[in-house]
Amino acid sequence: MHSQLSLSSIGSLIDGTYANPADLLGPHPIDYRGETAIAVRSFLPAAAAAWVVSPDRRFRRSMRKIHPAGFFEGLIPPGDFGFDASGRLQSDASHRSSKSHDGSDRHASPERYRLGCCRGGDAAGPVSVYNIEFSDSTGKTIVMQDPYAVPSILTDFDRYLIGEGRHLQLYDRLGAQPRTIDDRSGVNFAVWAPNARAVQVVGDFNGWDGRRHAARVHAHLGIWELFVAGAKVGDKYKFRLLTEHGEWVDKSDPLAFAAELPPLTASIVTDLTAHRWRDDEWLERRASVDPQRLPMNVFEVHLGSWQKGPGRAHGWLDYRDLAHRLADYCHRMNFTHVELMPISEHPYSGSWGYQTVGYFAPTSRHGSPADFMYFVDHLHQQGIGVLVDWVPAHFPKDSHGLRRFDGSALYEHEDPRKGEHPDWGTLIFNYGRNEVRNFLIANALFWFDKYHIDGLRVDAVASMLYLDYSREHDQWVPNQYGGRENIEAMELLRDFNTAVHEQFPGAITVAEESTAWPGVSRPVKDGGLGFTLKWNMGWMNDTLRYMRHEPIHRQYHHNELTFSLIYAFTENFVLPLSHDEVVHGKGALIAQMPGDLWQKFANLRLLYCYMWTHPGKKLLFMGGELGMWNEWNHDDGPQWELLDFDTHRGIQNLVSDLNKLVVDNPALHAEDFSGVGFEWVDCLNATDSILSYIRKAPGAPPLLICCNFTPVVRHGYRVGVPQAGFWKELFNSDSTTYGGSNVGNYPGRETTGVPHHSRPDSIQIDLPPLGVNVFRLDS
The answer for residues whose C-beta is within 8 angstroms of residue 293's C-beta and 6 or more apart is 669, 670, 671
662, 612 Cβ separation under 8 angstroms: yes
> DSSP letter string over 425-455?
TEE-B-TTSHHHHHHHHHHHHHHHHHH---E
Quote the Cα angle for 255-256-257, to 5°: 115
Residue of 23, 321, 406, 459 marked catalytic: 459
CA distance 210 to 400: 17
Decide if 495 is catalytic. no
Cβ(73)–Cβ(63) under 8 Å? Answer: yes
What is the C-alpha separation between 187 and 199, in angstroms, rounded? 16
Angle 632-634-640 (CA atoms, 0-180°, nearest 5)?
Answer: 60
Q: Phi and psi dihedrals of 28, rounded to 5?
A: -140, 135
- Chain-centroid distance, C-alpha 371: 16
- Closest residue by Cα to residue 551 from 716, 707, 731: 707
Among the listed residues 133, 318, 435, 512, the single catalytic one is 512
- Cis before residue 747, ω within 30 degrees of 0? yes
Q: How far apart are CA 465 and CA 181, in angstroms?
A: 46
What gap in Å lies between CA 507 and CA 499, rounded to an integer? 11
3-state secondary structure of 168: coil
Nearest-angstrom CA–CA distance, 434 and 439:
9
Has 560 been annotated as catalytic? no
| Cα–Cα distance list, 512 to 501, 572, 621 (Å) | 18, 12, 15
Omega within 30 of 0 (cis) for the link into 263: yes
Helices (H), 452-521: 461-465, 487-503
Dihedral (CA of 208, 213, 214, 215) sign: negative
CA distance 366 to 323: 11
- Cα–Cα distance for residue pair 29/597, rounded to 1 Å: 86
**Three-class HEC string of 176-219:** EEEEEECCEEEEEEEEECCCCCEEEEEEHHHCCCHHHHECEEEC
Catalytic residue IDs: 459, 512
